[in-house]
Amino acid sequence: MASYEPDPKLKFTFGLWTVGNIGRDPFGEPTREKITLSQILEMLGEVGAYGVNFHDNDAFPIDASPEEIARILKEFKKGMKDNGLLCPMATTNLFSDPVFKDGAFTSNNAKIRAFAIQKTMKAMEYGAELGAKTYVFWGGREGIESDATKNPIDAIKRFREAINFLCEWNIQNKFGYKFAFEAKPNEPRGHLYFAVTGSYLALIPTLDHPDMCGVNPEFAHETMAGLDFVHHVAQAIEMKKLFHVDLNDQEMGRYDQDFRFGSHSLKSAFFLVKLLEDNGYNGSRHFDCHAYRQSDYQDVREFAKGCMRTYMILKEKVGRWNADKEIQGLLKLINTEDVGMSKLTKKFSTGNAKKLLEAPLDRIELSKARLPYEQLDQLSNEVLMGIR
């Protein structure tokens, strides 16, 4: 029996805010005592995580003095070293403080926009000091409740301007960051700008430094909107823009649940792992989720181990699926190749167009091809259920 211990090559990471989550929700007070930075790092070391990610204000308060910040960063580094952790990703909290109540980079107030950029410039320094090479941008407050309040085109322009500025800051300071944009459809705003991963994929080519920028899709976010997360990640991979990924779980049409990876939608999680593994994804696998509000910290450890273990188990299942002769036979059957025809449609030319128009493509005959998808899906389920 395999041990399913976390494989460091898979770079399993957690944010300080995930295992450190205190179980507060919009209707209720915290159910867990806040634990210290050192305690969180100790817990992550204990469960076998590869790394830890953080927002500036997960580590120190927004009004911390430079001396306090320096002291905490030192403690942070020591905690990472003592527990064998790396810090691959950093980000800025641009959503908790009341100043950001109507957005940060897209705020209607030029001084608030400037403050958001200034705060990010500093936070980029802190992340770089801990060795982070990916910088995440989640626009938690970049949105509206009413379109009367903000011009949506201005919002896009303001966001672009902020990112262009920060790309130059990245270059000037030689931080070596790759930026990863994280989309979400709503929560905490009624509607967030850049609602899906594709919105950012469309924005990136319009930036001054498109090569520096990619995406950080989160399972829960496309799922909240009732969409197929795997397809969004696939598009990012195909465009070579998957710089980071946030793994968790979520039921469609519900509030922002951020459940333990695989806890609800095992089948989608399986096809996501398959997509990442089959395509050689090499970045962090970051678990952006938190334990149930009922859990104590002992159970939070089980939650963290569960995320990684589920990934390891699903990865093994992917291997089985790929090696399953019957499944492979069906895949061959449904992917009907025709070398001559593919050559014709691969690239337009006047000659190819002429040949295509004359090609004998018999609609009735073609519709007879077998598609045993029930069988294929059942076999996939049987792999998942552990009998193949």
Closest CB to ligand GLT: residue number: 138
Phi, psi of 356 (to 5 degrees): -65, -40
If the CB atoms of residues 141 and 317 are measured against ligand GLT, the closer one turns out to be 141
Q: Is the peptide bond before 210 cis (omega within 30 degrees of 0)?
A: no
When CB distances are held under 5 to 8 angstroms depending on the partner's kind, the choice from Mn ion, ligand GLT, none that residue 17 binds is ligand GLT
Helix axes 297-323, 37-47, angle to 10 degrees: 40
Work out which of 218, 249, 276, 284 binds Mn ion, going by CB under 5 A: 218
Phi, psi of 97 (to 5 degrees): -70, 145
Per CB under 6 A, which of residues 134..163 are in contact with ligand GLT? 136, 138
182 binds ligand GLT (CB under 6 A): yes
What whole-number distance in Å separates Cα of residue 94 and Cα of residue 100?
6
The count of other CB atoms within 10 Å of the CB of residue 84 is 14
Q: Which of 163, 152, 110, 130 is nearest to 58 (CA)?
A: 130
91 binds ligand GLT (CB under 6 A): yes
58 binds ligand GLT (CB under 6 A): no
Least distance from ligand GLT to the Cβ atom of residue 293, Å: 15
What whole-number distance in Å separates Cα of residue 122 and Cα of residue 118?
6
86 binds ligand GLT (CB under 6 A): no
One-letter amino acid for residue 159 of the chain: F
249 binds ligand GLT (CB under 6 A): no
Query: How many Cα atoms are found within 13 Å in the side-chain-facing hemisphere of 71?
Result: 7
Work out which of 102, 222, 249, 288 binds ligand GLT, going by CB under 6 A: 288
In this chain, which stretch among 154-162, 196-204, 253-261, 299-307 interacts with Mn ion, using CB under 5 A?
A: 253-261
Annotated active-site residue 286? The verdict is no
Least distance from ligand GLT to the Cβ atom of residue 55, Å: 6
Annotated active-site residue 63? The verdict is no
The contact set with Mn ion (CB under 5 A) reads 218, 220, 246, 258, 288
Catalytic residues, which ones? 55, 58
